[in-house]
Amino acid sequence: MLSVADLKKGAKLTIDGDPYVVTAFDFVKPGKGQALYKCKMKNMITGVILDRTYRSGENFEPARLEEKDMEYLYKEGTHYTFMDQENYEQVVMEEDAIGDAKNFLLENTKVSVLLFGDKPIGVTLPNFMNLRVVQTDPWVKGDTSGSDSKPATVETGYVLRVPPFIEEGELIVIDTRTGEYSTRVKG
Protein backbone atom coordinates (compact mmCIF):
# COMPACT_ATOMS: atom_id res chain seq x y z
CA MET A 1 0.00 0.00 0.00
CA LEU A 2 1.05 3.60 -0.58
CA SER A 3 0.60 6.40 1.94
CA VAL A 4 0.11 10.13 1.36
CA ALA A 5 3.89 10.50 1.76
CA ASP A 6 4.28 8.60 -1.54
CA LEU A 7 2.08 11.05 -3.44
CA LYS A 8 4.12 13.06 -5.88
CA LYS A 9 4.17 13.93 -9.54
CA GLY A 10 4.47 10.72 -11.53
CA ALA A 11 3.14 8.42 -8.76
CA LYS A 12 0.81 5.72 -10.11
CA LEU A 13 -2.26 4.59 -8.16
CA THR A 14 -5.27 2.39 -8.67
CA ILE A 15 -8.60 4.15 -8.14
CA ASP A 16 -11.90 2.35 -8.67
CA GLY A 17 -10.01 -0.34 -10.56
CA ASP A 18 -8.29 1.99 -13.04
CA PRO A 19 -4.63 3.07 -13.12
CA TYR A 20 -3.99 6.79 -12.57
CA VAL A 21 -0.81 8.82 -12.81
CA VAL A 22 -0.42 11.94 -10.63
CA THR A 23 0.18 14.89 -12.98
CA ALA A 24 0.18 17.74 -10.43
CA PHE A 25 0.57 17.69 -6.67
CA ASP A 26 0.47 20.16 -3.82
CA PHE A 27 0.71 20.00 -0.06
CA VAL A 28 -1.59 22.35 1.86
CA LYS A 29 -1.97 22.80 5.58
CA PRO A 30 -4.38 25.45 6.76
CA GLY A 31 -3.38 27.09 10.05
CA LYS A 32 -1.94 24.37 12.27
CA GLY A 33 -4.61 22.03 10.94
CA GLN A 34 -4.49 18.69 9.29
CA ALA A 35 -2.37 18.40 6.16
CA LEU A 36 -4.18 17.95 2.84
CA TYR A 37 -2.62 16.49 -0.29
CA LYS A 38 -4.13 17.86 -3.49
CA CYS A 39 -3.65 15.75 -6.57
CA LYS A 40 -4.52 16.12 -10.22
CA MET A 41 -4.52 12.69 -11.80
CA LYS A 42 -4.91 11.26 -15.26
CA ASN A 43 -6.63 7.99 -15.97
CA MET A 44 -3.98 6.03 -17.88
CA ILE A 45 -6.61 4.23 -19.96
CA THR A 46 -9.22 6.88 -20.75
CA GLY A 47 -7.10 10.01 -20.26
CA VAL A 48 -9.82 11.51 -18.04
CA ILE A 49 -8.44 14.05 -15.53
CA LEU A 50 -9.48 13.76 -11.92
CA ASP A 51 -8.96 16.15 -8.96
CA ARG A 52 -8.72 14.50 -5.57
CA THR A 53 -7.75 15.77 -2.12
CA TYR A 54 -6.43 13.28 0.40
CA ARG A 55 -5.76 13.61 4.12
CA SER A 56 -2.92 12.20 6.17
CA GLY A 57 -3.52 8.62 7.19
CA GLU A 58 -5.15 7.62 3.89
CA ASN A 59 -3.71 4.69 1.96
CA PHE A 60 -3.69 3.79 -1.72
CA GLU A 61 -3.42 0.79 -3.88
CA PRO A 62 -0.39 1.26 -6.13
CA ALA A 63 -1.08 0.75 -9.84
CA ARG A 64 0.66 -2.49 -10.74
CA LEU A 65 2.06 -1.66 -14.13
CA GLU A 66 4.48 -3.75 -16.06
CA GLU A 67 6.31 -3.16 -19.32
CA LYS A 68 6.93 -6.20 -21.48
CA ASP A 69 8.88 -6.67 -24.68
CA MET A 70 6.53 -7.81 -27.43
CA GLU A 71 6.41 -8.20 -31.16
CA TYR A 72 3.61 -6.66 -33.20
CA LEU A 73 2.02 -9.37 -35.36
CA TYR A 74 -1.00 -8.13 -37.26
CA LYS A 75 -4.12 -6.00 -37.24
CA GLU A 76 -7.73 -7.15 -37.67
CA GLY A 77 -10.28 -4.34 -37.84
CA THR A 78 -9.46 -2.22 -34.80
CA HIS A 79 -7.69 -5.02 -32.94
CA TYR A 80 -3.92 -5.15 -32.86
CA THR A 81 -2.27 -8.41 -31.86
CA PHE A 82 1.09 -8.57 -30.10
CA MET A 83 3.16 -11.52 -28.95
CA ASP A 84 5.04 -11.72 -25.67
CA GLN A 85 8.70 -12.39 -26.49
CA GLU A 86 9.19 -14.52 -23.37
CA ASN A 87 6.25 -16.90 -23.30
CA TYR A 88 4.85 -16.44 -26.84
CA GLU A 89 1.40 -15.59 -25.47
CA GLN A 90 -0.62 -13.20 -27.57
CA VAL A 91 -2.38 -10.06 -26.34
CA VAL A 92 -4.90 -7.98 -28.27
CA MET A 93 -5.08 -4.21 -27.96
CA GLU A 94 -7.77 -1.80 -29.10
CA GLU A 95 -6.83 0.95 -31.55
CA ASP A 96 -7.78 3.61 -28.95
CA ALA A 97 -5.14 2.34 -26.52
CA ILE A 98 -2.49 2.25 -29.27
CA GLY A 99 -2.84 5.97 -29.94
CA ASP A 100 -0.41 7.61 -32.35
CA ALA A 101 1.82 4.52 -32.35
CA LYS A 102 -0.49 3.03 -34.99
CA ASN A 103 1.00 5.45 -37.52
CA PHE A 104 4.38 3.73 -37.31
CA LEU A 105 3.59 0.12 -36.47
CA LEU A 106 4.91 -2.40 -38.96
CA GLU A 107 4.46 -6.12 -38.66
CA ASN A 108 7.26 -7.78 -36.66
CA THR A 109 8.24 -4.49 -34.96
CA LYS A 110 9.65 -5.05 -31.47
CA VAL A 111 7.83 -2.78 -29.04
CA SER A 112 7.29 -2.33 -25.32
CA VAL A 113 3.73 -2.91 -24.14
CA LEU A 114 2.47 -1.40 -20.88
CA LEU A 115 0.26 -3.82 -18.96
CA PHE A 116 -2.11 -2.99 -16.09
CA GLY A 117 -2.62 -6.45 -14.62
CA ASP A 118 -3.36 -8.47 -17.75
CA LYS A 119 -4.74 -5.53 -19.68
CA PRO A 120 -2.50 -3.86 -22.27
CA ILE A 121 -3.00 -0.09 -21.99
CA GLY A 122 -0.18 1.43 -23.98
CA VAL A 123 2.62 0.75 -26.40
CA THR A 124 6.05 2.38 -26.70
CA LEU A 125 7.85 2.19 -30.02
CA PRO A 126 11.55 2.50 -30.69
CA ASN A 127 12.34 6.24 -30.91
CA PHE A 128 13.19 5.87 -34.60
CA MET A 129 11.43 3.69 -37.17
CA ASN A 130 12.32 3.09 -40.83
CA LEU A 131 9.29 3.36 -43.10
CA ARG A 132 9.02 3.21 -46.88
CA VAL A 133 7.54 6.12 -48.84
CA VAL A 134 4.68 4.81 -50.98
CA GLN A 135 3.53 8.07 -52.51
CA THR A 136 5.06 11.48 -53.03
CA ASP A 137 5.23 13.90 -55.93
CA PRO A 138 8.51 13.98 -57.86
CA TRP A 139 10.83 16.88 -57.31
CA VAL A 140 10.68 19.25 -60.25
CA LYS A 141 14.09 20.74 -60.98
CA GLY A 142 13.94 24.49 -61.03
CA ASP A 143 10.87 24.57 -58.76
CA THR A 144 10.70 28.17 -57.69
CA SER A 145 7.77 27.86 -55.25
CA GLY A 146 10.37 28.18 -52.48
CA SER A 147 8.83 25.28 -50.61
CA ASP A 148 11.42 23.26 -48.68
CA SER A 149 9.19 20.28 -47.95
CA LYS A 150 6.42 18.23 -49.53
CA PRO A 151 3.87 15.70 -48.28
CA ALA A 152 4.67 11.99 -48.45
CA THR A 153 2.63 8.91 -47.54
CA VAL A 154 4.42 5.98 -45.90
CA GLU A 155 3.44 2.30 -45.93
CA THR A 156 1.28 2.57 -42.79
CA GLY A 157 -0.84 5.25 -44.48
CA TYR A 158 0.65 8.00 -42.30
CA VAL A 159 1.31 11.30 -44.08
CA LEU A 160 4.15 13.61 -43.09
CA ARG A 161 6.28 16.36 -44.62
CA VAL A 162 9.62 15.36 -46.10
CA PRO A 163 12.39 17.25 -47.96
CA PRO A 164 11.79 17.68 -51.72
CA PHE A 165 14.56 15.23 -52.76
CA ILE A 166 12.80 12.18 -51.21
CA GLU A 167 11.46 9.84 -53.86
CA GLU A 168 8.79 7.15 -53.93
CA GLY A 169 10.11 3.80 -52.75
CA GLU A 170 12.78 5.32 -50.50
CA LEU A 171 13.20 4.32 -46.86
CA ILE A 172 13.09 7.21 -44.41
CA VAL A 173 13.67 7.47 -40.66
CA ILE A 174 10.80 8.90 -38.59
CA ASP A 175 11.09 10.09 -34.99
CA THR A 176 8.11 8.30 -33.42
CA ARG A 177 7.97 10.75 -30.48
CA THR A 178 7.25 13.73 -32.72
CA GLY A 179 6.01 11.96 -35.87
CA GLU A 180 8.47 14.01 -37.93
CA TYR A 181 10.93 13.13 -40.67
CA SER A 182 14.39 12.62 -39.27
CA THR A 183 16.65 11.50 -42.14
CA ARG A 184 16.77 9.18 -45.18
CA VAL A 185 18.14 5.65 -44.98
CA LYS A 186 21.29 5.55 -47.10
CA GLY A 187 22.07 2.70 -49.40
Q: Which residues bind another protein (CB under 8 A)?
A: 5, 26-36, 53, 55-57
Task: Look at residue 102 and give its three-state secondary structure.
Answer: helix
With respect to another protein, which residue has the nearer C-beta, 58 or 71?
A: 58
Residue 32 to residue 84: CA distance in whole angstroms: 53
With respect to another protein, which residue has the nearer C-beta, 28 or 48?
A: 28
Which residues, 6+ apart, have CB-to-CB distance to 155 below 8 Å?
Answer: 106, 131, 132, 134
With respect to another protein, which residue has the nearer C-beta, 38 or 184?
A: 38
Task: Look at residue 140 and give its three-state secondary structure.
Answer: coil
CB of 48 to another protein, least distance (A): 21
With respect to another protein, which residue has the nearer C-beta, 55 or 161?
A: 55
CB of 11 to another protein, least distance (A): 15
CB of 132 to another protein, least distance (A): 47
Residue 23 to residue 59: CA distance in whole angstroms: 19
